[in-house]
Every structure is written in structure tokens, then in C-alpha cells.
Chain A
Amino acid sequence: VSSQQFSALTEVLFRFLTEPKEVERFLTQLSDFAAMNKISLGPLKNIVKSILLVPNGALKRNLSSEQVRADFIALGLSEEKASYFAEQWKVNSPTLTRLAVGQTLMINQLIDMEWRFGVTAGSSELEKVGSIFLQLKLVIKKGSQMENVYIELTLPQFYSFLHEMERVKTSLESFS
């Protein structure tokens, strides 16, 4: 593979790594590359699979670009190509790191929150009530499913809740 072809391939690889949801696009770009360079798609896919293992392993083990370069040379890649890849790695690693962090396990992640508030006008036991309540709908991701949780709060509870959440924000900010 010439160095020009290699850079083109590397570009395709990193574009996929930084946007892992674009699987279709990645596969299309791979077959285009294969066709343009008269390489058969099967072996190319295998090579790409092995190459992709390197950045993933590098993220897991927090490797520097020097170490990535050394890994590739150990795998048999030329110095020039290994350096090029390591450079690309350095440029892309903040994005890749952010993606990996984003993929980290979250327990019952809060996805969305909706609210409404209103007044209870009357009930079967009280003809006229006039009390204000707040109703929250929390959309929670439990495993792979979404669950809606409905909660009612009185106004004093709402103000406490707001106060507590502001304290959480201060706490999170002091650790960032």
C-alpha cells in the first residue's frame, strides 16, 4: 500500500472512530477505497479490523502517541506510516477520549424531564381546595429501555429540591 493510499485509509478509519454511529458511511467508504485501489474488499476488511484494535487498546491503556507508533512498528508497519498514524491519533484522541467517557456505564440515566403545575380545585372530600402542586415526568434509561416516572411535589418540596440541585452543581463544578 502506498503512503498516499495509507493516509486516505487512515482518514477513513479515524472518521469512523470519531463518529462510530456512521457504520453505513464507513462501509461505503471502505468499498470505494477497495474499488479505487483495486484491492479486494474481504482482505481489506480483515486488515482494517486489526488496525482498529490499536486505537481501542490505546484508549483503554491510555497510551501516548509515541507508544502507539511503537506498537504499529512492532506490528510490521513502516516507520513513516506508523508516525503518520500516531500523529493522527494525537490529533483525534481528545474526541476519542470524550466518546469513550460518554460510553461509560451510567446507572438509570436521566434522559429528559417534563413538568406541569396546576391547582387542585376540589376533591371528593373537599369542595374547594386551591392548593398548587408540581408534577414532574422523568424519562429514565433503565438498561436498554426507557421508563417514565411521574412524581408530584408540593411547592415547599420544589424549592428544597431546587436548592439541593444547586448544591450538587456547585459540588460537580468543584471537581471538574
Chain B
Amino acid sequence: PSGALSSLPFLQLVSALHNLTRHVVYHGLTRAEDILSLFPENFHQNLKNLLTKIILENISAWRNEAQASQISLPRLVDMDWRVDIKTSSDSISRMAVPTCLLQLKIQEDVALCGNSPVVSALTVELSKETLDTMLEGLGRIRDQLSAVANK
């Protein structure tokens, strides 16, 4: 549909609304009064209230989305594992060594990928010793987190 939707005033309107909502989200405004005070003095009263109401309803969704799409290191999105038993190899014909295969699904920085996020799968093998060491490390992380939470 052409006409009104592509006219300059409409685009200015969309841009203004966008700026308003971004401002609210950025500063974390949560009270109606704070949002209402952003509008100019002679702004249409009912429209002002309606817009404020709509913005308040959407704030937490917008904040969550902003947090989800901020720049970051690649993020873990999923993980899978299985345990295999190695029974023989070219250097030894008989053994029974359990080993773990861990698959991590990693999503590249959302901010870089935009709407088509790139997810890669990394498969890592861990021996029992490696796993024990890793668990020790993870345990320490958990203790550090509890210490911070209890402060």
C-alpha cells in the first residue's frame, strides 16, 4: 500500500516512536509518571496515556530482547553427551576404556548474525581423568557463585 504509509510524516512518526521506546528501555523507566513526563506539554492527553500504557506493557519483553541480542562471546545453546567404551585400537587389541563424547551447540554472537544466527556443533572427547578435573573446576565455580550469592 502506497500513499500515506510512505509519506515523510509517517516515517518521522515511526522514527519518533522508536526513539521514545529506546529511551525508555535504555534508562529502565518503569513508572508511568516517568514516561508521561517525556511527552511535550501540549501533547494530546488520551493519546499520551494510551502510548504510556502500551509502552509499560511491553517494557520487560523489550528489555529481555535487548539483553538477548547484546554483543557477547559465542553462546552455548544446547549440549548432548554419550558414553562410549573403547574396545580396541591399532596399538592394543583388547581394552575396555569408557570415554565421554560431549557435543556443544554454540551460537555465534547474535549481534553479528542478526536474523540468521549461525549455530555450530563442537564435539569434544573427555577421558575419565579429564572429566574429573573438569568437575573439580565446575565445583569451584559453583562455590564461588554461592559465596557471591550469600554476601
Contacts and interface: CB of A to CB of B under 8 A. Distances in A.
Interface of A: 59-62, 97, 100-101, 103-110, 113, 115, 117, 120, 123-129, 131-135, 138, 140, 149-153, 155, 157-162, 164-166, 168-169, 171-173, 175-176
A105 B89 contact: yes
A150 B100 CA distance: 20
Interface of B: 22, 25-28, 63, 66-67, 69-76, 79, 81, 83, 85-86, 89-102, 104, 106, 122-128, 130-135, 137-139, 141-142, 144-145
Chain B interface secondary structure, helix, strand, loop or mixed?
Answer: mixed
Contacts, number: 160
Contact of A126 (B66, B76, B133, B139): B66
23 contacts: A62-B92, A62-B94, A101-B95, A106-B99, A108-B122, A109-B125, A115-B137, A117-B141, A120-B67, A125-B66, A129-B70, A138-B124, A140-B122, A140-B124, A151-B73, A158-B145, A160-B79, A162-B141, A164-B79, A168-B100, A168-B131, A172-B83, A176-B98
B11 to A, nearest CB: 22
A60 B92 contact: yes
A110 B22 CA distance: 43
